[in-house]
Amino acid sequence: MNKSKKSRRSWSSSVKMRIVLKGMEPGVDIAALCRQEGVSPTQYYSWKKQLVSSAEAVFGDKRSPAIDAKEARLSAELTRMKGVVAEITAENLELKKTL
């Protein structure tokens, strides 16, 4: 009862990229492409999802943590200043009412 195991194919990243990009071209039938390349359609869509999700890392915001920290500090300072302006405005209105 010893069944021989089917070995898994190993796909290089360049082959995966070529197959996925070919499938993203207009008018390409994914099922036919997968048959031609010997890939399961499920595997194709998995590779496509990986490619699209990794695009964020490639094209995403590459700001440094120092810039984010500076932005957070400036935002907190702006909030504090708006509070001070609101307090002074309220005091000014109270003084005008008493005159």
As for how many domains the chain has, the answer is 2
Within-domain flag for 76:
yes
State the distance between the two ends of the chain, measured CA to CA, in whole angstroms. Answer: 101
Q: Range of 84's domain? A: 63-99
Q: Specify whether the CB–CB gap between 23 and 30 falls below 8 A.
A: yes
Spatial CA neighbour of 44 closest among 57, 58, 32:
32
Look up the pTM and report it: 0.55
pLDDT in tens, the chain (99 residues): 455 667 778 899 999 999 999 999 999 999 999 999 999 999 999 999 999 888 877 777 666 677 778 888 999 999 999 999 999 999 999 999 888
Q: What pLDDT score was predicted for residue 35? A: 96
- Are residues 56 and 25 both part of a single domain? yes
Query: From CA 13, how far away is CA 24, in angstroms rounded?
Result: 16
Quote the pLDDT of residue 63. Answer: 67
19 and 39 co-located in one domain: yes
Same domain, 53 and 67: no
Cβ-count burial 7-30 (b if 16+ within 10 Å, e if not): eeeeeeeeebeebbeebeeeeeee
